[in-house]
Structure 1
């Protein structure tokens, strides 16, 4: 078996290979919408998508973008983080999020931030207890 490794998904083929795992988090997306949104986010927001492989199988994905705001300063916003539902509790999410932390620090960013759906209590426990994140705000949205 090949060892674990993390690789950026840059080609359409790599993005489509990551789609079944991403779909577990972003259930509202079909393949066309997924590709269209990623392409636009990469072009306009410097979005990056990385996959954690166990051998040749993607077991987790993380999408993030570097940002600058007056509130957070220079930071990386984690837009998407999901481990395949059959591979949870093996430490893959932790490894991938630690990769994002390292990427951000090496690129000169001061912090990493994310939001998580109110219903995702297991994810909240993971972020706070395992990864050392602080709960600092609520996120609000309005459909237009």
Structure 2
């Protein structure tokens, strides 16, 4: 049985190991510090469990801008390595799409690292997402 639930602060550390697979640069301390700040900006986490075993985690915010209007932005989406390609990412992303509709969002959007070609195939071919742009960044020192 698959269950998806919105996580509370008390759950954040429980999902760190799965999130760490996507964000290996984070320590537990940095992860919790960032989450505390992000929560103030509307960041929410959801987890997918199968038979009470954590399988996938996502982090999202509802934001508004001029090009997407009110939308869900998926900052993090990861299925634990041993459970990939079993439909969990699809279930979690579909859940977010419905959650966005329930929260009056017009769109759902995300960005994916260039090297994650398997993820790109999943988003484009399995989930029918468009690739409307490139994301550019510059580290400020």
Write the deviation string for residues 17-47 of structure 1: whole angstroms up to 9, x where unpaired: 111000000010010111111111011x200
Tell me whether 1:123 sits opposite 2:119 in the alignment: yes
Work out the number of aligned pairs and report it.
Answer: 140
- Which of 6, 9, 13 is matched with 1:8 structurally? 6
How far, CA to CA, are the matches of 1:110 and 1:38 in structure 2?
25
Paired residues for 1:42-53 under 5 Å? 42-43=39-40, 45-53=41-49
Tell me whether 1:102 sits opposite 2:98 in the alignment: yes
How far, CA to CA, are the matches of 1:113 and 1:79 in structure 2?
9
Please give the TM-score of this superposition, normalised by the length of structure 2: 0.97
How far, CA to CA, are the matches of 1:51 and 1:94 in structure 2?
13
For structure 1, list consecutive stretches of 5 or more residues without a partner in the other structure. none
Please give the TM-score of this superposition, normalised by the length of structure 1: 0.95
Partner of 1:60: 56
Write the deviation string for residues 75-130 of structure 1: whole angstroms up to 9, x where unpaired: 11000000000000110000000010000001100010000000000000000000
Partner of 2:35: 38
Moved over 4 A (4+): none
Write the deviation string for residues 29-71 of structure 1: whole angstroms up to 9, x where unpaired: 010111111111011x200000000122110001000010001
- 3-state SS of 1:86 partner: helix
Partner of 2:19: 22
For structure 2, list consecutive stretches of 5 or more residues without a partner in the other structure. none
